Amino acid sequence: MEQLNKLIDHIVSRVNINLREPLVDVGPYVSDLIPRDSFALYYAFYSITATHPLKFHFRHSSVGGTYFLGKCEVDHSILYKSDIRGDELKRKGSVVKCNGQDIKLRDDEVISIRDSYLMKTLVHNNSHDPENLETFKIANTVSLHYANIHGTDVEGCFLEPFSSVDLSVCHDCAVGAFSYVQAGELSHRRIKPGRVWVKAPGLFEFKYRFPEEVLKKYIRMENYRPVGILMDFFENKKEDFVPIYSAVHPENIIEADGASVSPYAVIKGACSVDKNVLVAQRAYLEDSRLGPGANAQENCYIINSTYEGEDVTAHGGKVIHCNLGRKVFVGFNSFLNGKEDAKITIGSSSIVMPHTIIDAQEAINIPENCLVWGYITRQEDLELHSITLDEFASIKGQFQLGNMSFEGIGAKFVDGFRHRIDHILEENGAFYDGSEETMGHAQKTQDISFNILQPYPEGELKGLYPELAINPLEPSDL
Amino acid sequence: MEQLNKLIDHIVSRVNINLREPLVDVGPYVSDLIPRDSFALYYAFYSITATHPLKFHFRHSSVGGTYFLGKCEVDHSILYKSDIRGDELKRKGSVVKCNGQDIKLRDDEVISIRDSYLMKTLVHNNSHDPENLETFKIANTVSLHYANIHGTDVEGCFLEPFSSVDLSVCHDCAVGAFSYVQAGELSHRRIKPGRVWVKAPGLFEFKYRFPEEVLKKYIRMENYRPVGILMDFFENKKEDFVPIYSAVHPENIIEADGASVSPYAVIKGACSVDKNVLVAQRAYLEDSRLGPGANAQENCYIINSTYEGEDVTAHGGKVIHCNLGRKVFVGFNSFLNGKEDAKITIGSSSIVMPHTIIDAQEAINIPENCLVWGYITRQEDLELHSITLDEFASIKGQFQLGNMSFEGIGAKFVDGFRHRIDHILEENGAFYDGSEETMGHAQKTQDISFNILQPYPEGELKGLYPELAINPLEPSDL
- 3-state SS string for A177-203: CCCEEECCCCCCEEECCCEEEEEECCC
Percentage of residues in chain B having pLDDT higher than 90: 65
The whole-angstrom distance between residue A366's C-alpha and the CA centroid of its chain comes to 25
List the beta bridge partners of residue A123: A84, A149
Across chain A, mean pLDDT equals 92
> Taking a C-beta distance cutoff of 8 angstroms, is the pair B79, B66 a contact?
yes
Q: Is the pLDDT of residue A21 over 70?
A: no
d(CA B190, CA B175): 6
pLDDT of residue A437: 93
pLDDT digits (tens, 9 = 90+) for B93-126: 988 887 788 889 888 889 999 899 999 999 987 6
Residues in chain B with CB shorter than 8 Å from the CB of A64 are none
Mean pLDDT over B296-319 rounds to 97
Q: Minimum mean pLDDT among A358-372, A454-468, B287-301: which range?
A: A454-468
Q: Residues near A394 by Cβ (< 8 Å), separated by ≥ 6?
A: A410, A411
Domains of chain B as residue ranges with CATH: 2-227+448-477 (2.160.10.10), 246-394+412-443 (2.160.10.10)
pLDDT digits (tens, 9 = 90+) for A419-463: 999 999 999 999 999 999 999 999 988 888 889 999 999 889 999
> Which candidate, A457, A271, A16, places its Cα nearest to that of B263?
A457
Which of A6, A457, A464 faces B447 most closely, judged by CB atoms? A457
DSSP, collapsed to helix, strand or coil, labels residue A175 as strand
d(CA A237, CA A223): 24
Residues 30-89 in B contacting A (C-alpha not used; CB under 8 Å)? 40, 43, 48-51, 54, 59-60, 76
Sequence-ordered strand ranges (E) for B121-280:
122-124, 135-139, 142-143, 148-150, 158-159, 164-166, 173-175, 180-182, 189-191, 195-200, 204-209, 220-222, 225-227, 260-261, 266-268, 272-273, 278-279
A306 or A38: which leads in pLDDT = A306
Q: Tell me whether residues A462 and B249 touch, CB distance under 8 A.
A: no
DSSP state for residue B60 in the 8-state scheme: S
Q: Is the pLDDT of residue B132 over 90?
A: no
Helix H segments across B171-278?
A: 212-218, 229-237, 242-245
Which pairing describes strands A467-471 and A56-59: parallel, antiparallel, or unpaired?
A: antiparallel
d(CA A342, CA A357): 15
Residue B174: phi and psi, rounded to 5, are: -125, 130
pLDDT digits (tens, 9 = 90+) for A390-408: 999 999 999 999 999 999 9
Q: Tell me whether residues A458 and B3 touch, CB distance under 8 A.
A: no
Mean pLDDT over A97-119 rounds to 88
**Is the CB of B448 inside 8 Å of chain A's CB atoms?**
yes
d(CA A336, CA A355): 10
> Which candidate, A230, A198, A172, A213, places its Cα nearest to that of A18?
A172
pLDDT of residue A247: 85
pLDDT digits (tens, 9 = 90+) for A261-278: 998 999 999 999 999 999
pLDDT of residue B186: 83
Tell me the pTM: 0.89
d(CA B436, CA A155): 46
pLDDT of residue A52: 81
**Is the CB of A207 inside 8 Å of chain B's CB atoms?**
no
> Which candidate, B123, B165, B122, places its Cα nearest to that of B146?
B122
Nearest CA in chain A to B1: A50
pLDDT of residue B127: 63
DSSP, collapsed to helix, strand or coil, labels residue A96 as strand
Nearest CA in chain B to A57: B469
Residue B352: phi and psi, rounded to 5, are: -95, 115
Q: Tell me whether residues B471 and A468 touch, CB distance under 8 A.
A: yes
pLDDT of residue B250: 83
pLDDT digits (tens, 9 = 90+) for A136-155: 888 889 999 999 998 878 88
Q: Tell me whether residues A50 and B462 touch, CB distance under 8 A.
A: yes
Dihedral (Cα; A17, A21, A26, A29), 10-degree rounding: 170
Long-range CB contacts for residues B222-228, cutoff 8 Å, separation at least 24: B224/B28, B224/B29, B224/B33, B225/B33, B226/B144, B226/B145, B226/B160, B226/B161, B226/B162, B226/B177
pLDDT of residue B344: 98
Asked whether the CA dihedral B254, B260, B264, B267 is positive or negative, the reply is negative
pLDDT of residue A2: 85
Q: Tell me whether residues A60 and B449 touch, CB distance under 8 A.
A: no
Residues in chain A with CB shorter than 8 Å from the CB of B52 are none
Q: Tell me whether residues A472 and B466 touch, CB distance under 8 A.
A: yes
Which of B449, B457, B461 faces A455 most closely, judged by CB atoms? B449
Q: Is the pLDDT of residue A477 over 80?
A: no
The whole-angstrom distance between residue A146's C-alpha and the CA centroid of its chain comes to 8
Q: Tell me whether residues B460 and A50 touch, CB distance under 8 A.
A: yes
Residues in chain A with CB shorter than 8 Å from the CB of B472 are 466-467
Residue B331: phi and psi, rounded to 5, are: -75, 170
pLDDT of residue A22: 66
Which of B50, B247, B457 faces A449 most closely, judged by CB atoms? B457
> Which candidate, A451, A452, A472, A470, places its Cα nearest to that of A57?
A470
Number of CB pairs, chain A paired with chain B, less than 8 A apart: 141
The whole-angstrom distance between residue B369's C-alpha and the CA centroid of its chain comes to 24
pLDDT digits (tens, 9 = 90+) for B350-359: 999 999 999 9
Mean pLDDT over B339-363 rounds to 98
pLDDT digits (tens, 9 = 90+) for A41-84: 888 999 888 888 888 999 889 998 898 888 899 988 999 999 99
pLDDT of residue B313: 98
> Taking a C-beta distance cutoff of 8 angstroms, is the pair B143, B155 a contact?
no
Q: A406-431: buried (b, 16+ CB within 10 Å) or exposed (e) per residue?
A: bbbbbbebbeebbeebeebbebbbbb
How many other CB atoms are there within 10 angstroms of residue B437's CB atom?
Answer: 8
pLDDT of residue A127: 63
B206 or A106: which leads in pLDDT = B206
Q: How far is A288 from chain B (nearest CA, A)?
A: 28
Highest mean pLDDT among B155-169, B216-230, B234-248, B443-457: B216-230
**Is the CB of B458 inside 8 Å of chain A's CB atoms?**
yes
First to last CA, chain A: 42
pLDDT of residue A251: 79
pLDDT of residue B470: 93
Nearest CA in chain A to B58: A470
Which of B454, B469, B470 faces A48 most closely, judged by CB atoms? B454
Which of A76, A448, A458 faces B50 most closely, judged by CB atoms? A458
Q: Is the pLDDT of residue A165 over 70?
A: yes
Residue A449: phi and psi, rounded to 5, are: -130, 160
Tell me: cis bond preceding A126? Omega within 30 of 0 counts.
yes
Tell me: cis bond preceding B130? Omega within 30 of 0 counts.
no
Q: Is the pLDDT of residue A478 over 90?
A: no
pLDDT of residue B335: 98
pLDDT of residue B22: 66
d(CA A376, CA A360): 7
Which of B245, B454, B460 faces A449 most closely, judged by CB atoms? B454
Mean pLDDT over B6-12 rounds to 90
How many other CB atoms are there within 10 angstroms of residue A100's CB atom?
Answer: 5
Q: Residues near A201 by Cβ (< 8 Å), separated by ≥ 6?
A: A184
